[in-house]
Structure 1
Amino acid sequence: MNVRPVWNDVFANSSDQTLDSYFNHLGMQFFDLYKHLEYQAEPIRFCLTLTQQQAFNTYFSQTQNQYLCLYGANYLSTVRRLGLITFRMAMILTTLRIMDDGNICSPLVCRDNDFNTALSMVKILVQHAAQVFQQLPSEAVTTAPKNQKQQFLDELPKEFCRKDYLTIANKLGIPDKTAEKHIKRFATSCLINHYAHDKYKKQ
C-alpha cells in the first residue's frame, strides 16, 4: 500500500461555512443543470460506444453464466438489474461532464473513463449482492449453504489438473463425485477451460 505517514491538519480549513450551506450550494448547482437539461427543445439521447457496448455485454454475459452456475436461476434478476445500474451510472457521470465543458449534444456519448468507472463500481456491487443473496433464508435459496460451490471455484488455482481439484475438494469436505460435477458445470458455464486431457484453466 502506498501510504504517506503524515498527519493532515484537520483544522486547516478556516471557513465559517457549515455543511448545510455547502451542500445547499452544491444542490443548487445540480439543480441549475437539471433545469438546463429539462428545458432542451428535444430529448437528449445517451449512448455507449461500440467498444463499450462489447465490453458491457462481455462482462455481464460472463457474470450471468458464473452466477447462474453458482446460485441458480434465482440470481439472474440481480445480475440484470446491476447491468441496468451500470448503464445509469455511466449516464449520470457523462451528464455531469456538462457542468465542466458546457457541451450539450445528442447523442451524448459516454467517455471511456466514465464507462470504466461505472463498471468498476458495479463489479464490487456484484460481490456484495452475492454476499447478501447467501444470507437469505434457506428455503429461498436453492444452492448449497454458504455456497460451497463458490468457495470451491475461488480455491482453484489459475491452472490445475484432476488431482489438484480433488485435493481442494477434500479440504472443503466435498465428495469426489460432487467435485467432478462442479468441474463439469464450471466448464459448461465457461468459468474454466478444459483445454487438454486432465488440464484446466480458470477464465
Structure 2
Amino acid sequence: MLEKWFNKVKGPQNKKGLTGVLLLLLLGLGITFFPISPRETPTKAVVTPSSEAAKEPLTYEEALEKRLTIILQKMEGVGQVNVMITTVSDKEKILAEEKTQSHQKQQETDQGGGTRITEKEDMQNKIILQTGNVPYVIKENKPIIKGVLVIAEGAENSEVKSNIIQSVTSLLDVPVHKVAVYKKGK
C-alpha cells in the first residue's frame, strides 16, 4: 500500500506535495516528542539583608539593639543611631523539678556491746515534662546587660546626649556608668 502511494507521489508533478507531506510529518513528530510550552525564564533569587535575618532568629542583644535604635532615632535631634549592647550571661531557663528525698537511719549493736549508727540520705531531682517530652519552664531570666554603646549624629549636643542616656538607662534598667554615648563620625 505504501509502495503504491510512493509511486503515485514520486512523479515530478507531485514533488511539492511530497515535500509538504514530509514537512507536516516532521512537524507532527516534533510536536509529539518536543511539546511546545511557554519559555520559562530563570528567576534569580534576590537575597536582601532582611530576608537573611528572617531565617536566623535574632539574639536577645540584637533584638534589643534593633528596638533601641528605632526608638532613639525618633527622638528630636538624635539623627542616625548605631547601638551595641553587651551582656554578661545568656538566657537562663528555670525548669520545673520534682524533688524526692529519703533519709534512712540504722542503728546496729555488735556482740561486744558497741553501737554503730549509719545514716543514708538520698535526693533525686526529676525534670517535669509537658506533652511531647518538652521540659516545663517555670521562669526565664533575661541576660544581664553589661554595657551599652550609642553612636548618634546629634550626640555633640549635650541636651540630646543627656536625653539618650536617660532613655537608655530607664528602658534597659542599667546604671548611667554603663552607658556610653558618642558623636557619629562621617
TM class by shorter chain equals under 0.3
From the two aligned structures, give the one with the greater strand fraction: 2
From the two aligned structures, give the one with the greater helix fraction: 1
Report the TM-score when normalising by structure 2: 0.24
User: Quick check: which has more Rg, 1 or 2?
Assistant: 2
Report the TM-score when normalising by structure 1: 0.23
